[in-house]
């Protein structure tokens, strides 16, 4: 809502108050002022000129040489506007003038002819093109003949004004009108209001003799008021009215349309003007549209209506979409002499639905949707009639044609001052409260320890005691509220075990060298299931903004890979990222997808880079595997952790494993498939993803200390020759199972596959540690245990000791 402070001052006294300070006061007490706009934009030296003579430039077709009386002199100005003409009163920017955008006007020569200034269009004075009246959209603006040469043009055009731009929240639709803002400002400043006048002489004829009215949809349209005005002269509105409309962001058209828009801005009550003669039937019938019924609206669009859209008809066909836009067939035009002014109450929901279906929002629909003040329906109609009489020479027929079943009873709110003070933590006196209610013009009474308040119908947001708490607080001042802390039973706060573990997972991964990434949950349908740990239906948006963001992800890996590509393309040597986030699996009984928290990581590039000491290493499978092993150790699951070769679409078939805890699959790890790497322009990249929720929710044994033994352990190394395909993990498992209770640790310390080996064979070396916490082991005991291991290896894996 754009509020002209000059216009506002007609209804409430703001004298002596700088508009900026006024804006600040309004902001602090309830309605945010987004901007304070100076319409003059620093303009100077812009005056009224009288074109005494206007001839074509001998050297240039499109230029005119004008002799312009600018008060102190008559001076020559070259003008290129097509509509400039002798006798016009125009806007002249004199040499030395500054126009919006810092444009400076200087004396100049155009094709040999001197030009002392510029004749201006409204656009050149900083008015948006969409607001300039159509007649002057392509040329200079012509002032009324009454303008005096030499006087400043800015006040004439209302450009010596400051606009407050209000950012209205949906509850404050009462401030969608100048009067509404005036009520608010009056309350803030403790100033009284002046109301607009509606005074005219009624004709002897009665409106009801001219027009029949019937409402067939009383729920959607509980109140309809029509006034008939005869003998109107369609012409340009007076300048003051035009510039007020432009200041409010409305384009002037002609006096009748401008008056309806002016009253809309003044009262917040949308009005519509029909050409009475073009209605043809002397009848208005308001009803729901027939499904598929058509109407051409004022913007020349043919619109197809639905059966829940409310229309105004002439008894035969629609002449307007109620509360949204008028029809072209009944539009006021230059030859109109009799107009019907509609002022109605259309139900918000109905207008909202129609406006949404027709994809058509207007100043009118915006106000109806939020609910207009029932008490202003008649007031606005009377005000419009009065202005039509005054500015269009109209003859207002007696009375109105009315259907009124609208409940205008104010809402009663009963609240005790104690309740207000308890909610605020304050001690505001009853006198202060009633004084605030008086300023707000809320009809109220204090009795038996309660305040009985009739909320004004213009303030439809006031319904319950809490609303009164807010009114009192905002007018009393939020700065006055003291600062306290809740008084309550003291209870420790904290993280759940899951949340605490998740933080430790993050800290661990970051300690291991990974940065935390956060990527989008929405992805393309194609990517949504890639690398998913489980097969589940996808969750798609009904109306995505793009295919790229249409479906909820089932794996974190694809977007992490995007991040690797992004960073690699920007010369990152190493990319090591992890993400903790939800994936969205199918649909559960509740209708919601199952959200599972996952952990994923990607690594690419260099892992160790300390080259001057000769340490340099690229990432590989085992770097990432080691990180997972360390993580499981941190979480107390290392004993249950196994890796098994697996095949996953998009990953290298020979370098992929599923991650299992106690035999249950909880994740995957692998190298990105070389062909995928190529597509993404990546070098070797390793990825992993875990069902973090499952891991963190898994039970862990209580931590219990094992005494540190006084007795030494005995270590035996073995080098085994086995088939190349034999998995080291299998050998390790055989050793662990056959080693008996004395075998405490197995450590793989060498792997050799090369020329020195028989083809198809490899050598794997383990270090075995035997140990008894109670005593020193004898050689014999160790030999016995060790022999069992060797035997098991030979039998189960065909392993031979390397010679």
Partner 1 sequence: MEAQLQQLKEEALQKIEASQNVKELNDVRVAYLGKKGPITDLLKGMGKLPAEERPKMGALVNVVREEVTEVLEARMALLQEQAIQAQLEKESIDVTLPGRPVKTGNHHPLTRVVEEIEDLFISMGYEIAEGPEVEKDYYNFEALNLPKGHPARDMQDSFYISEDILLRTHTSPVQARTMEAKEGKPIKIICPGKVYRRDNDDATHSHQFTQIEGLVIGENIRMSDLKGTLSVFAKKMFGEDREIRLRPSFFPFTEPSVEMDISCFKCGGSGCNVCKKTGWIEILGAGMVHPNVLEMAGYDSKKLSGFAFGMGPERIAMLKYGVEDIRHFYTNDVRFLSQFHRTEV
Smallest Cα–Cα separation from 174: which of 382, 530, 460? 460
Nearer to partner 1, 314 or 355 (CB): 355
- Nearest Cα neighbor of 350 from 380, 379, 327, 370 is 370
Are 472 and 433 a contacting pair, CB within 8 Å? yes
User: Among 182, 517, 619, 682, which residue sits at the site for partner 1 (rule: CB under 8 A)?
Assistant: 517
Give the integer Cα–Cα distance in Å for 734 and 738. 6
Contact with partner 1 (CB under 8 A): which of 65, 207, 575, 693? 575
Say which residues have a Cβ less than 8 Å from residue 382's Cβ, sequence separation at least 6.
Answer: 198, 227
**Cα end-to-end span (Å), the chain:** 92
Residue 612: CB minimum distance to partner 1, A: 7
Q: Which residues pair with 675 in a beta bridge?
A: none
Write out the two tokens for 697: 């929710």
Q: Which is nearer to partner 1, 327 or 581 (CB)?
A: 581
Between 543 and 703, name the residue whose CB sits nearer to partner 1.
543
The CA distance from 324 to 363, in Å, is: 9
Min dist. Cβ of residue 614 to partner 1 (A): 11
Candidates 447, 487, 702, 708; binder of partner 1 (CB under 8 A) is: 487
Q: Which helix (H) or strand (E) segment is 152 a member of?
A: none
Options 1-9, 182-190, 375-383, 462-470: segment touching partner 1 (CB under 8 A): 462-470
Segment lying near partner 1 (by CB under 8 A), choices 246-254, 303-311, 535-543, 780-788: 535-543
- Interacting positions 20-39 with partner 1 (CB under 8 A): 27-32
State CA 640 to chain mean position distance: 48
Q: Which stretch binds partner 1 (CB under 8 A): 256-264, 410-418, 561-569, 696-704?
A: 561-569
| Residues 578 and 599 sit within 8 Å (Cβ to Cβ) | yes
Residue 470 is assigned to a ligand binding site: yes
Contact string 331-350 vs partner 1 (x = CB under 8 A):
-----------------xx-
Number of Cβ within 10 Å of residue 788's Cβ equals 14
By CB under 8 A, tell whether 697 contacts partner 1: no
629 is in an annotated binding site: no
Instruction: Report the distance separating Cα 239 and Cα 244, nearest Å.
Output: 8
Characterize the bridge pairing of strands 223-230 and 395-398: antiparallel
With binding defined as CB under 8 A, does residue 561 bind partner 1? Answer: no
Instruction: State yes or no: residue 680 binds partner 1 (CB under 8 A).
Output: no
Return the range that interacts with partner 1 (CB under 8 A); candidates 379-387, 481-489, 765-773, 788-796. Answer: 481-489
Residues 538, 519: Cα–Cα separation, whole Å: 18
Q: Which of residues 191-220 bind partner 1 (CB under 8 A)?
A: none
Is residue 542 near partner 1 by the rule CB under 8 A?
yes
Q: How far is CA 731 from CA 564, 665, 748, 793, in A?
A: 36, 22, 10, 7
Strand partners, 419: none
The two three-digit tokens of residue 628, written as one number: 């997972």
- Please identify which residue in the block is written with the tokens 């590039």: 605
Least CB distance to partner 1 at residue 111 (A): 46
Question: What minimum distance in Å lies between the beta carbon of 81 and partner 1?
Answer: 39
Cα–Cα distances (Å) from 420 to 426, 482, 802, in that order, read: 8, 14, 89
List the one residue from 543, 702, 706, 708 that touches partner 1 (CB under 8 A). Answer: 543
> Per CB under 8 A, which of residues 149..188 are in contact with partner 1?
169-172
Residue 450 within binding range of partner 1, rule CB under 8 A: no
- Judged by CB under 8 A, the chain residues 406 through 425 that form the site for partner 1 are 422-425
The nearer residue to partner 1, 124 or 369, going by C-beta atoms, is 369
Q: Considering the complex, what minimum distance in angstroms separates the CB of residue 140 from partner 1?
A: 37
Burial group, residue 211, by CB count within 10 angstroms (0-12, 13-18, 19+): buried
Q: Which listed range, 176-184, 206-214, 296-304, 568-576, lies at the site for partner 1 (CB under 8 A)?
A: 568-576
In whole angstroms, the minimum distance from the beta carbon of 519 to partner 1 comes to: 7
The residue among 624, 628, 623 whose CA lies nearest residue 641 is 628
- Distance in Å, CB of 230 to partner 1, minimum: 39
CA dist 558 and 561 (Å) reads 5
237 versus 539: smaller Cβ distance to partner 1: 539
Shortest spacing between CB 563 and partner 1, in angstroms: 4
State CA 486 to chain mean position distance.
Answer: 33
Residue 373 touching partner 1 (CB under 8 A):
no
Kindly determine how many residues on this chain lie close enough to bind partner 1 according to the rule CB under 8 A. Answer: 95
Residue 703 engages partner 1 in binding (rule: CB under 8 A): no
| Binds partner 1 by CB under 8 A, chosen from 129, 240, 294, 566 | 566
For residues 494 and 707, which CB has a smaller minimum distance to partner 1 in the complex? 494
Q: Is 539 in the site for partner 1 (CB under 8 A)?
A: yes
493 contributes a contact to partner 1 by CB under 8 A: yes
369 near partner 1, judged by CB under 8 A: yes
466 contributes a contact to partner 1 by CB under 8 A: yes
34 is in an annotated binding site: no
**Would you give the distance in Å from CA 454 to the centre of its chain?**
36
Binding to partner 1 (CB under 8 A) within 595-654 occurs at 595, 609-610, 612-613, 615
Region from 7-15, 106-114, 142-150, 572-580 binding partner 1, contact rule CB under 8 A: 572-580
Contact set for partner 1, span 111-140 (CB under 8 A) = none
Q: Ramachandran region of residue 190, left (φ > 0), alpha (ψ -120 to 50) or beta?
A: left
**Cα separation of 416 and 195, whole Å?**
32
352 is a site residue for partner 1 (CB under 8 A): yes
**471 assigned to a ligand binding site:** yes
Phi, psi of 419 (to 5 degrees): -60, -45
Which of 638, 798, 662, 663 is CA-nearest to residue 734? 798
CA–CA gap between residue 170 and residue 147 (Å, rounded): 42
Which parts are annotated binding residues for Mg(2+)? 461, 467, 470-471
């Amino acid at each position: 809502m754009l509020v002209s402070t000059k216009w506002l001052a007609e209804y409430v006294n703001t004298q002596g108050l700088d508009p900026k300070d006024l804006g600040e006061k309004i902001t602090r007490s309830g309605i945010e002022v987004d901007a304070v706009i100076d319409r003059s934009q620093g303009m100077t030296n812009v005056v009224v000129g009288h074109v005494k003579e206007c001839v074509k430039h001998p050297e240039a077709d499109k230029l005119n040489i004008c002799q312009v009386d600018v008060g102190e002199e008559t001076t020559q100005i070259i003008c290129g506007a097509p509509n400039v003409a002798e006798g016009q009163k125009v806007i002249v920017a004199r040499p030395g003038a500054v126009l919006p955008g810092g444009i400076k006007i200087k004396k100049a020569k155009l094709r040999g002819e001197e030009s002392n200034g510029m004749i201006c269009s409204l656009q050149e004075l900083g008015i948006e093109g969409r607001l300039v009246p159509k007649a002057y959209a392509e040329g200079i603006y012509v002032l009324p003949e009454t303008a005096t040469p030499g006087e400043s043009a800015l006040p004439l055009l209302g450009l010596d004004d400051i606009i407050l731009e209000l950012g209205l929240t949906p509850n404050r639709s009462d401030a969608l009108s100048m009067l509404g803002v005036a009520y608010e400002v009056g309350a803030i400043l403790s100033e009284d209001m002046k109301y607009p006048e509606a005074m005219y002489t009624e004709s002897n004829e009665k409106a009801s003799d001219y027009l029949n009215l019937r409402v067939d949809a009383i729920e959607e349209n509980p109140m309809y008021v029509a006034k008939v005005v005869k003998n109107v002269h369609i012409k340009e509105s007076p300048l003051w009215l035009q510039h007020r409309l432009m200041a409010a962001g409305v384009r002037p058209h002609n006096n009748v349309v401008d008056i309806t828009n002016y009253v809309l801005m003044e009262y917040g009550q949308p009005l519509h003007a029909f050409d009475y003669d073009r209605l043809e039937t002397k009848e208005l019938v308001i009803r729901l549209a027939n499904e598929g019924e058509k109407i051409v609206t004022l913007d020349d669009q043919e619109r197809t209506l639905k059966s829940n859209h409310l229309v105004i008809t002439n008894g035969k066909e629609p002449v307007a979409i109620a509360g949204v836009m008028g029809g072209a067939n009944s539009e006021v035009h230059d030859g109109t002499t009799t107009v019907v002014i509609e002022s109605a109450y259309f139900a918000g929901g109905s207008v909202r639905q129609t406006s949404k279906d027709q994809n058509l929002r207007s100043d009118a629909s915006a106000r109806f949707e939020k609910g207009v003040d029932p008490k202003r329906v008649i007031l606005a109609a009377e005000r419009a009639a009065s202005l039509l009489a005054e500015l269009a020479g109209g003859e207002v027929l007696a009375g109105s044609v009315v259907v009124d079943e609208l409940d205008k009873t104010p809402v009663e709110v009963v609240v005790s001052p104690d309740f207000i003070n308890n909610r605020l933590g304050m001690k505001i006196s009853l006198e202060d409260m009633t004084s605030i209610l008086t300023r707000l013009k809320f009809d109220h009474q204090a009795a038996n320890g309660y305040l009985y308040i009739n909320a004004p119908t213009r303030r439809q947001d006031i319904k319950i005691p809490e609303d009164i708490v807010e009114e009192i607080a905002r007018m009393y001042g939020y700065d006055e509220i003291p600062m306290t802390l809740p008084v309550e039973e003291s209870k420790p706060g904290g993280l759940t075990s899951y949340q605490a573990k998740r933080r430790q997972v993050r800290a661990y991964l970051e300690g291991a060298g990974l940065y935390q990434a956060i990527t989008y949950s929405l992805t393309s349908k194609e990517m949504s299931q890639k690398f998913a740990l489980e097969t589940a239906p996808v969750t798609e948006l009904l109306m995505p903004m793009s295919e790229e963001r249409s479906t909820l992800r089932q794996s974190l890996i694809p977007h992490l890979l995007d991040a690797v590509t992004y960073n690699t393309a920007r010369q990152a040597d190493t990319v090591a990222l992890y993400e903790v986030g939800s994936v969205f699996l199918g649909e559960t009984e509740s209708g919601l997808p199952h959200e599972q928290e996952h952990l994923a990581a990607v690594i690419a590039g260099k892992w160790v880079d300390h080259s001057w000491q000769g340490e340099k290493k690229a990432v590989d499978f085992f770097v990432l595997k080691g990180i997972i092993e360390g993580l499981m150790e941190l979480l107390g699951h290392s004993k249950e952790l196994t890796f098994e070769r697996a095949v996953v679409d998009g990953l290298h078939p020979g370098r992929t494993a599923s991650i299992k805890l106690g035999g249950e699959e909880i994740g995957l790890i692998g190298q990105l498939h070389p062909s995928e790497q190529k597509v993404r322009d990546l070098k070797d990249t390793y990825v992993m993803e875990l069902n973090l929720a499952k891991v963190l929710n898994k039970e862990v044994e209580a931590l219990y200390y094992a005494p540190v033994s006084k007795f030494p352990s005995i270590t035996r190394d073995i080098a085994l020759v086995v088939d190349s395909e034999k998995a080291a993990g299998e050998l390790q498992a055989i050793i662990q199972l056959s080693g008996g209770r004395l075998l405490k640790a197995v450590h793989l310390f060498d792997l050799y596959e090369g020329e020195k080996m028989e083809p198809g064979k490899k050598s794997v070396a383990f270090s075995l540690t035997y140990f008894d916490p109670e005593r020193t082991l004898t050689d014999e005991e160790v030999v016995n245990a060790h022999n069992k291991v060797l035997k098991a290896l030979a039998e189960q894996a065909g392993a031979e000791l390397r010679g």
